Structure 1
Amino acid sequence: MASPAAIQRSITPAVAGTIIPSSPLQRLSTFKDRTPSAPIPHSSSSPLDAFSSDPVFSALLSPDFDSTRFSTQALSSGSAAARAEKLEEGIRLLEKQLRSEVLSRHDDLLSQLSSLKDVESALSVVRSGISNLQSSVRRVRQEISDPYRQIRLKTVQLSNIHHTAELLQSTVRVLRLSKKLKDLMAVSATEPEKLDLSKAAQLHREIQILCEENSLAGIDVVDEEMIWLAETGNKLRSEAMKVLERGMEGLNQAEVGSGLQVFYNLGELRSTVDALITKYKNQGVKSVNMAMDLKAISASSGNFGPGGVQRTGTPQLGGGAKAKEALWQRMNTCMDQMHSIIVAIWHLQRVLSKKRDPFTHVLLLDEVIQDSDPMLTDRVWETLVKSFAGQMKSAFTASSFVKEIFTMGYPKLISMIENLLERISHDTDVKGVLPAISSEGKEQMVAAIDIFQTAFLALCLGRLSDLVNSVFPVSTRGSVPSKDQISRIILRIQEEIEAVKLDGHLTLLVLHEIGKVLHLLAERAEYQISAGPEARQVTGPATPSQLKNFTLYQHLQEVHARISSTIMGLPAIASEVLSPSLGVIYGVAHDSVTSLFQAMLDRLEVCILQIHEQNFSVHGMDAAMDNNASSYIEELQKCVVHFRSEFLSRLLPSSSTNVISTGTETICTRLLRSMASRVLIFFIRHASLVRPLSESGKLRMARDMAELELAVGQNLFPVEQLGAPYRALRAFRPVIFLETSQLGASPLLQDLPPSVILHHLYSRGPEELQSPMQRNKLTPLQYSLWLDSQGEDQIWKGIKATLDDYAAKVRARGDKEFSPVYPLMLRLGSLLTENAFVYQKS
């Protein structure tokens, strides 16, 4: 550090204002230029502010100022002396400014100077103290260096002694443990069954740990023992592996546990289990590959000559059956091997999940599987499924022979897979133990052959569709298939169901395809149905169009009945799958004859409507003794006989007029039941509208009802099986003969629709009590159509309106008595309409 005197000497010239010219510009300033220089700008501000605006001095303030370039420019400008004079003037101005600054701060500078003297004094004291400290440190260092060297030497010597003692102790322990192991192994030479593999493995592991932790390698006696120890370890691993594999094959938990304990004691449990998993994986993959090895199949089915399998995977002439049998046999072998592999791995996993080390109580499974690791069975199963799926896909694309066998024999193939899964589930179903395969794993195995399932379903659909297309060609609309052709379709459908009925899932898939075929069959049959006037005529003999419709109906009815019967033995879900398609078949069959039955019913209703043209008000003995039926009934009889001979005999089975159980009714018998019921109800309705009705007329109407019952029962449907309509007909006959006073309490009313009873009561009332038909001036047909569209409550409203009109007329005349029918109708109307639902439900 500079001394205060030096600092003072460096500052004194500046304070005195003495400047020693040293630069060329300073020397040039001593010469007086005759040309007066331009005055330097002066202001009260700093000279640097004036210099920054001056063209000459501003260059000196630039950070990249170059004196050589500045001098060159001054000399080349021709006014170098003037430039020099200007610079000299600038220097004088700066010196003046500097002197002014120093003088203005003279006191501050002097105080700083005194401070520097004090600092110099303090530094001299510190410097003396440091020198003394350094000498003390050198003296102390010299005094303690020798003891330190002695301590360090002794410490190293002690450490070496301790290390040597530890090596000797470890060596002695290794030799002692080795002797125990040798004694234990010596027993196995004479009595192998008495060898305690677990204890031997534990001794082996302790020796290894001692050698590794204490670095005993290089000690001759230890190296010699390690050679023998390695041989012993190999022997222990070999014996333990034999016990472990024997236990896995025989599903012996004790042997598996013993083998695992040996490897746990050896510290090789995880690596051993991983090796076993790899081994069984390879066995499974090899088994799958062998099952699809066409060369091996050819060799096992004979030889490589005629009858073998060619390179393309297609058997040579004469060898297809043998190769097929060999393929299925190898698939069975593959399934058995996969089963044994998975069960063995599951057994290993089961023992690992139960067994704990007797000393540390560590669960062996925790040593093998970490939290994120999959289970052992999942690892093996995933590999087997992946290999199997790959082989299936490869066989499908590369071998037409295998593709054909597995496609046509898919039910057998899926049966093998499901049998494998069922066997594995059964053999690994132990309470408290995870199953060998999860539901997802099973689905993966089944999905491995989806490609053949798709081909099988397509083949099934193709076979059935081709059969339907051959029976119902699109190009010819008028052709009707024969009964044998329809039977072949039904038989083929039944065979398809029979082939897969043992597999519920596959059955549903096949039923979906059969449903498509039934839709196609219904569509083709519907295209053939005739719907013109010829199909609806009922007055003449059956037309060709009607005969064709009858044949199509019988075919569709046969299909519906036999397929429905086939699926009755299947689970309920099978019926649900096929019901929509059978419903379509039923609907087309129904449509093929519905128009004819409607036309027949319309014709019979026309006959019944003629009842209103008859005179039932005739009085006298002659009318009462006339046993002949009315003309409209005779016409109705002729119609139903004609319908029976021309139409119904072709549509109904021969026993249709006998008692028919609900379960065996066909479409036509249902339509006939409906038509017969409608005829009876329609007759009762219009018979109740007949007005007036004399006693002779009642007898005639009773004969008509008897003739109607006989005609319907003999030619349409057994009337006793019609239920409510027949009870209504049987009840209406005695009702018309009851006195008006007896009607209200008669039990017969329960079997009749309320509207029929009320309409019949009009025939017993005065003429001014008009029926709704008379009041609204409707024809019987119009009124009948209105009745069809209304419920009993609405009909009662119309009847009630006529009763109110009648009451108003009576009151208008001033009469106080009403016809006995009036209060009876009011009472029965309100009572019967409330209970009308009983009749409708029955």
Structure 2
Amino acid sequence: MPSPALSQQRSSIPSSPLQRLSTFIEKSSNTFPSTPSSSSTPRPNSTTSSSSPLDAFSSDAIFSAFLSPDFDSARFSSQALSSGSAAARAEKLEEGIRLLEKQLRSEVLSRHDDLLAQLTSIKDAESALSVVRSGISTLQSSVRRVRQEIADPHRQIKVKTVQLSNIHETVELLQFTIRVLRLSKKLRDLMVVAGSELEKLDLSKAAQLHREIQNLCEKNSLSGISVVDEELVWLTEAGNCLRGEAMKVLERGMEGLNQAEVGSGLQVFYNIGELKPTVEGLLNKYKSQGVKSVTSALDMKAISSSGSNFGGGGPGGIQRSGTPQIGGGGKAKEALWQRMNNCMDQIHSTVVAVWHLQRVLSKKRDPFSHVLLLDEIMQEGDPMLTDRVFEALVKSFASQMKSVFTTSSFVKEIFTVGYPKLYTMIENLLERISRDTDVKGVLPAISTDGKNQMVAAIDLFQTNFLALCLSRLSDLVNNVFPVSSRGSVPSKDQISRIILRVQEEIEAVKLDGRLTLLVLREIGKVLLLLAERAEYQISTGPDARQVTSPATPSQLKNFTLCQHLQEIHTRLSSSLLGLPAVASDVLSPSLGAIYGVACDSVTSLFQAMLDRLEACLFKIHDQNFGAHGMDAAMDNNASPYMEELQKCVLHFRSEFLLRLLPSSASISTNSETICTRLVRRMASRVLIFFIRHAALVRPLSESGKLRMARDMAELELAVGQNLFPVEQLGAPYRALRAFRPVIFLETHQLGASPLLQDLPPSVILHHLYSRGPEELQSPVQRNKLTPVQYSLWMDSQGEDQIWKGVKATLDDYATKIRARGDKEFSPVYPLMLRLGSLLTKDSQSKS
């Protein structure tokens, strides 16, 4: 069992005798330094470090635990009891205790002299300490005596200081009181001089005196002095009088937009020290007036009541969803618009008045401190006064508009149908405000964002208006072009109604560019719908393309559709002439779609007619233009192919073109319809096609030239009388007129003839083949093509490619001549080389 001494000493001293011993040794070595005699003379009973019990304990398994700083006696006892050898361990511990006590005695004996020396030092310290105590007591006695001698003068000085401070404060109060009484007398004298005519009072000076008196009283706490309190009562009354007069001047100046009066009123409130709250109060007042006017304008109960007063018929009232009673709709509508006008006027006057106030604040400076009045009521980054007021008005206006849109079907219908009028009101309001506040060097009353917000407040009605516009026009188109009936063709009156309806929609909004563009976009959607429905009505198939028989019902139907769509395109294009170019740009795609469908309805017919005429002209190659003799020259009859072409042209004219081309009475000569454009194109193609194949004729005798010239005259007459005036065809007609004399020129005259400028290079080159030898093969002969195949190839190629084909035949001809050994070429060969290079070069430069 462990020793009782070990367990009782756990909390206050080291937890084991070994630890106590080591601690004692360390302390003794620090507390009792060895004397020279002890350090130099070894003692016989002192142990060396190697024989110290601590060294033996540190290597012992049991005693080493007692040297640990975290030794726990309870844990050690528990381990000893659980080991089964508790008695043996307790005996060992007793032995260790005896060994330690023996070692302790040995240490005390070995350091006996040192301990005695330390006792002597303690006695000396106690003697010195008694001397110090005596000195301290003497010092305390002296301090008490000095304190008693100083306390009475200090007390007297403190009392005198308080007395002087009170006298000084009393003098200051007397001075400030006298100052207040003098300023008050000045203010009284100033107001007494004005008497009952307060408008003659110098409000600015009076306000300055009032503010100075008030500041003296507040800063120096003069309240409580009877004479000052009496003056303060009168000062309060005077201040109220000054504020009232200043507010009258300020409001009068704002109503009349008089800068001098507004500046005077503001100066008074600045001198009083109430500039910012006064301006804030004015802003709130104008905000309230504006918001009230907006609310009143859209008060359906008041509108219905006022509407009933325009002319008898019983009391007004609201039935359901803001709808006036039966019979009162017209008067309520007039009342609504009148109230909206009044509302716009009130908003205008409110914004302009606030802008005028802001303008004066931004220019007016205090004459003494030179402080800008606007800086007194605004900090950097704060919104301008006009922005604050206008934002509140716009917010209220937008809220009221949204409210009546959802709650009053009557107002919703009026503002939707009359949206252009409502939008014009807003635009006029914004324009008036901008115009009336447009002063150089001064910010305008409303910004671009503010204008956009005001316009956006009625976006709900704009959306409904555009939807209503689209619905009206779409319903009209659906009635004229029903989906279920493909065979029916609308009448001219129905088409006119569509055009008139579209023109009315444009006319209703043309005064406003932005709204016009929005409406035109909706009209564009309707025109695309109309084009789609009309395209669905177009007849296709063989009946629509036949050109040999009289016009079929399918063709007549297509003619009617073409004319209807042409009229829509022409009249709506004319309606856009007075509008800005951007309006035409908006509607151009839709009008282009209408125009495209109109073209599609007759394009296949015109292509079929042109194919038939080209087929007739192909037969020129079946004629013998190489015959000689007077019989061929004197024959006055046209060639068979030309007679067939004339019959076809007459047939086309009587059966198709007369139904498609407008009469001179219905359309001006300067305008060009779809059909006139197609006829012009067909006539030009016939002339060019004839010249192309006439140039390919080979051989061509003198008699053949006469017959060809006669065919040209017949062609010119047939085209000019039945298709299109040839004089108006331009280049194709000039080419036809030039080709006739060219075929009669001598070969050596061709190179310098000015007629070549009016002919395509390919025509000249192909014609020269008819003047050359048989060895000089044409591209048709060289490539073994038919005239039809070669003509199709020429349609897909340019003049440069055609010249390459001609050049290849010229090279072949040159090779044959050189191979034969001949030294001379046909006169046509060098002429074709020279003309080919020159004409193609000129043609490329023109293109």
Deviation sequence 1:209-234 (CA, Å, 0-9, x none): 00011001111111111111111111
Choose which of 550, 560, 563 in structure 2 pairs with 1:554: 563
Using a 3 Å threshold, how does the CA distance of structure 1 residues 735 and 96 change in structure 2: closer, same or farther? farther
Residue identity matched to 1:597: F
Moved more, 562-571 or 530-539: 530-539
* Matched residue, 2:36: none
Alignment partner of 1:523 is 2:527 = no
Give 2:717's aligned residue: 710
What is the CA–CA distance in structure 1 between the aligned matches of 2:755 and 2:198, rounded to whole Å? 103
Helix, strand or coil for the counterpart of 1:569?
coil
Closer, same or farther in 2 for the Cα pair 1:387/1:117, shift >3 Å?
farther
Asked whether the 8 Å contact 1:556–1:585 carries over to 2, the reply is: yes
Task: Write the distance in 2 (CA, Å) between the matches of 1:789 and 1:480.
Answer: 39
Query: In the alignment, what sits opposite 1:367?
Result: 376
- Which of 582, 585, 591 is matched with 2:591 structurally? 582
Q: 2: CA distance between counterparts of 1:619 and 1:109?
A: 171
Cα distance change of structure 1 residues 224 and 52 upon mapping to structure 2, 3 Å threshold:
farther
Task: Report Cα offsets for 1:9-45 as digits up to 9, x if no partner.
Answer: xx9xx99xxxxxxxxxxxxxxxxxxxxxxxxxx9964
1:76-475 pair list within 5 angstroms: 87-99=93-105, 127=133, 129-302=135-308, 305=314, 308-475=317-484
The residue aligned with 2:617 is 608
Question: Per-residue CA shift, 1:812-842, capped at 9, x if unaligned?
Answer: 1111011000010011001000001466x5x
Residues 265-307 of structure 1, C-alpha deviations (whole Å, 9 max, x = no match):
0000001000100110011110100001111111211269465
**Residue-by-residue CA offset, 1:382-433 (whole Å, 9 max, x unaligned):** 0000000000000000000000000000000000000000000000000000
**Contact 1:298/1:308 (CA < 8 Å) preserved in 2?**
yes
Alpha-carbon distance between aligned partners in 2 of 1:658 and 1:84, rounded to the nearest angstrom: 141
Larger mean CA deviation between 473-482 and 797-806 belongs to 473-482
CA distance in 1, matches of 2:595, 2:148: 122
1:653 aligned onto 2:659: no
In the alignment, what sits opposite 1:27?
none
Contact 1:604 1:679 in 2 (8 A): yes
CA distance in 2, matches of 1:78, 1:826: 137
Decide whether aligned partners of structure 1 residues 78 and 414 sit closer, same or farther in structure 2, where only a CA change above 3 A counts: closer
Over residues 83-115 of structure 1, what are the superposed CA-to-partner deviations in whole Å (9 max), with x where a residue is unaligned? 875554343233345456667888987887787
Length-normalised TM-score, structure 1: 0.90
Deviation at 1:668, TM superposition (A): 1.0
Q: 2:802 aligns with which of 775, 795, 805?
A: 795
Going from structure 1 to structure 2, the CA distance change for 1:128 and 1:666 (only over 3 Å counts) comes to: farther
Q: 1:768 to 1:306 in 2, by over 3 A?
A: farther
- How far off is 1:551 after superposition? 1.0
The equivalent residue for 1:680 is 687
- Give the 3-state SS of the residue equivalent to 2:452 in structure 1: helix
Match of 1:754 among 743, 755, 761: 761
AA paired with 1:689? Answer: L
Match in the other structure for 2:811: 804
Cα 1:593–1:90 change in 2 (3 A) is same
Separation of aligned partners in 2, 1:358 and 1:657: 80
Paired with 1:692 and 1:824, the residues of 2 have a C-alpha distance of 19
Structure 2: where are the runs of 5+ without partners? 1-20, 26-50
Give the deviation of 1:477 after TM superposition: 1.3
Distance 2:84 2:747 in 1: 159
Is 2:758 the partner of 1:784?
no
Q: Is the 2:53–2:100 contact (alpha carbons within 8 Å) kept by the matching residues of 1? A: no
Cα displacement string for residues 414-463 of structure 1 (whole angstroms, at most 9, x for unaligned residues): 00000000000000000000000000000000000001000000000000
Identity %: 80
- Local SS of the residue matching 2:223: coil
8 A contact 1:490–1:563 mirrored in 2: yes
TM-score (norm 2): 0.89
Aligned to 2:4: none
Q: CA offsets per residue over residues 602-660 of structure 1, 9 Å max, x none?
A: 11100000000000011111111111110101111111111111111111112399994
Question: SS at the partner of 1:492?
Answer: helix
- Report the secondary structure of 1:538's partner residue: coil
- Check 1:176–1:803 CA distance in 2 against 1; reply closer, same or farther (3 A cut): same
| 2:11 paired residue number | none
Corresponding position of 2:16: none
TM superposition shift of 1:137: 2.8
Q: Does structure 1 retain, via aligned residues, the 8 Å contact 2:794–2:802? A: yes
Cα pair 2:738 2:755 within 8 Å, conserved: yes
For 2:673, the aligned partner's letter is: T
Q: Distance in 1 between matches of 2:666 and 2:843?
A: 31
Q: Distance in 2 between matches of 1:593 and 1:322?
A: 54
Paired residue secondary structure (1:275): helix
- 2:308 is paired with a residue of what secondary structure? coil
2:370 is aligned with what amino acid? H
Distance 1:775 1:146, change over 3 A: same
**3-state DSSP of counterpart to 2:483:** coil
Quote how far apart the aligned CAs of 1:476 are. 1.4
In 2, Cα distance between the equivalents of 1:592 and 1:790?
A: 29
The alpha-carbon deviation at position 129 of structure 1 amounts to 4.9
Aligned partner (choices 817, 821, 838) of residue 824 of structure 2: 817
Cα distance change, pair 739–298 in 1 and its aligned pair in 2 (3 A): same
Matched, 1:567 2:576: yes
Cα pair 1:306 1:317 within 8 Å, conserved: no
d(CA) in 1 for partners of 2:538, 2:263: 77
Q: Could you tell me how far apart the structure 1 residues matched to 2:462 and 2:611 are?
A: 53
> What is the alpha-carbon distance in structure 1 between the residues aligned to residue 99 and residue 543 of structure 2?
138
CA contact (8 A) 2:308 2:315 kept: no
Tell which deviates more after alignment, 796-805 or 83-92: 83-92
- CA shift, 1:139, in A, is 2.9
Aligned AA (1:813): R
- The residue type equivalent to 1:782 in the other structure is Q
Closer, same or farther: CA 612–62 of 1 in aligned 2, 3 Å: closer
Change (3 A) 1:604 1:241: same
Greater shift in the superposed pair: 101-110 or 791-800: 101-110
- Secondary structure in structure 1 of the residue aligned to 2:487: coil
TM-aligned CA deviation for residue 672 of structure 1: 1.1
Structure 2: how far apart are the matches of 1:447 and 1:384?
13
- Please list, as runs of the form range in 1=range in 2, the aligned pairs for 1:489-528 lying within 5 A after superposition: 489-528=498-537
Deviation (angstroms), 1:70: 7.0
Q: Does 2:554 match 1:545?
A: yes
Matched positions, count = 797
Map 1:739-750 → 2, pairs under 5 A: 739-750=746-757
State the partner residue of 1:4.
none
Native 8 Å contact 1:306 1:318 kept in 2: no
Q: 1:714 to 1:123 in 2, by over 3 A?
A: farther
Unpaired segments ≥5 residues, structure 1: 1-10, 16-41
For the residues of structure 1 that align with 2:666 and 2:726, how far apart are their CA atoms? 10
